[in-house]
Amino acid sequence: MELIVISISCLSVFFLIQIERGRQRYGIPPAQIPLKRTKNQRSTACMKQLVFPVTNDLNYDQRMIRICTSLSRAGYAVTLIGRHMPGSVPLVKQPFRQRRLRCFFTKGKGFYIEYNIRLFFFLIFNKIDVICAVDLDTILPCYWVSVLKRIPRVYDAHELFCEMKEVVTRPVIYRLWKRVERFAVPRFKTGYTVNQPIAQVFKDNYQVDYEVVRNVPVLQELNVPDKVEKYVLYQGWVNEGRSFETLIPAMAQVDAKLIICGDGNFMAQARALVAEHGLAEKVIFKGRVLPQELCGYTVNAWIGVTLFENKGLSNYYSLANRFFDYMQAGIPQLAVDYPVYREINNQYPIAVLINDLSPNSIAVQLNRLLNDEQLYRELQQNCLAARTVFNWQQEEKKLIAFYSSIS
């Protein structure tokens, strides 16, 4: 069944490309598939149309919500495209258009092939002025559509996709995605990523000079509450490479609960680890939590954790949004002693950094943050100072200037 769907879809794409080439050759205007729009959205027809495709269900992608909101308020007509997933809740209303594509496959190579084909069809039949591929798993349809429509294309690299643990540790999958990267990234001369080391990797490997737009929260008024319970918080994707194999066993030695807000490809293994170590009362899974609800967990936590295994450059050069989320909430954290975290922590000591990710090492440092009141208060005060420097109000200026420069 999978092979039949893929074969038919590939033939459809081939014929569609030929039709589009003929349209351009003879100057025929592109067909448009009208989407149902609100009155306000219809009034944006004369604005520059920016389209951002991702492979998630949109509601929990805080970086893309910030980006699309800022550009929408700057006067662009923005569309964020994702997918409908099993268990997806209705879309949260945003100041930009949102569209979910429905796929027969929900994971694996079948999903990626189907989603990219569906995305291609969606993009080719809709008005677009600038298209931005968000990470490597949307880059191919964005490239081909930009070529056929002769429009500017942008690459937004949230990470080094091929260097994620779930990719780099699987040779066949790694080679496949690396071929995609080698083909596509050099053809995206314009782009941005989350920190300078990742931008430098792209420059060294593909001679592209990308801007840096860090993944930081919006600065909001903060009143640090009196905390009823000292709990440790992990928020974000529950994926491979996030050190759950050692963080969860470490909680047996820590006099506090661990609350995990998120979902991902390591969730089943994480639950199995909790059962294996008899920690059902100490490790609490909250699943996917909408951003407006997540802030309540964050501001009331005692400690945040930002841990990554040193497997693949994506982890080593990471700059996770939760690192800044904890900072914005005035919460000290336990984080890995990798280059970008170290650089920020040297400016504003907001975290205890560790290299040893063994259960004992993690437990020792978590207990230190739980019990050393002087250290905790110092880190907390540094968070309150750093949040005025590292915030979205500063980063969105660079984002808007970037898109203003694209003709």
Residue 43 has pLDDT above 80, yes or no: no
Same domain, 63 and 115: yes
Residue recorded with tokens 């969730």: 267
Distance CA 383, CA 381 (A): 5
Same domain, 56 and 171: yes
Same domain, 196 and 269: no
In a domain, 254, yes or no: yes
In a domain, 273, yes or no: yes
Same domain, 131 and 174: yes
CB 377 within 8 A of CB 349: no
Same domain, 195 and 237: no
In a domain, 28, yes or no: no
Same domain, 278 and 166: no
Three-state SS at 272: helix
pLDDT category of residue 8 using cuts at 50, 70 and 90 = very low
pLDDT at 285: 97
pLDDT, average across residues 345-373: 97
Domain that holds residue 200: 47-216+394-404
Distance CA 84, CA 81 (A): 10
Same domain, 158 and 282: no
Residue recorded with tokens 């996917």: 288
Same domain, 54 and 178: yes
Same domain, 67 and 83: yes
pLDDT at 107: 82
pLDDT, average across residues 360-365: 97
pTM assigned to the model = 0.86
Same domain, 266 and 310: yes
Same domain, 196 and 244: no
Query: Which residues have C-beta within 8 Å of that of residue 297, sequence separation ≥ 6?
Result: 233, 235, 259, 261, 286, 289
Mean per-residue pLDDT over the chain, rounded? 89
Closest CA to 189 of 170, 208, 173: 208
pLDDT-above-90 percentage for the chain:
81
Q: Please state the domain count of the chain.
A: 2
pLDDT, average across residues 7-27: 48
Residue 20 has pLDDT above 90, yes or no: no
In a domain, 40, yes or no: no
CATH of the domain at 318: 3.40.50.2000
pLDDT category of residue 311 using cuts at 50, 70 and 90 = confident
Distance CA 75, CA 85 (A): 30
Characterize the bridge pairing of strands 351-354 and 333-336. Answer: parallel
pLDDT category of residue 356 using cuts at 50, 70 and 90 = very high
Same domain, 292 and 173: no
Q: To 5 degrees, how large is the angle CA 81–CA 269–CA 315? A: 60
In a domain, 10, yes or no: no
For the chain, how long is the longest CA-to-CA vector?
Answer: 74
Helix, strand and coil content of the chain, in percent to the nearest 5, comes to 50, 15, 35
pLDDT digits (tens, 9 = 90+) for 164-197: 988 998 999 999 999 999 999 999 999 999 999 9
pLDDT at 36: 45
Distance CA 200, CA 284 (A): 39
pLDDT digits (tens, 9 = 90+) for 204-241: 999 999 999 999 999 999 998 988 899 999 999 999 99
pLDDT digits (tens, 9 = 90+) for 90-144: 999 999 999 999 998 888 888 999 999 999 999 999 999 999 999 999 999 999 9
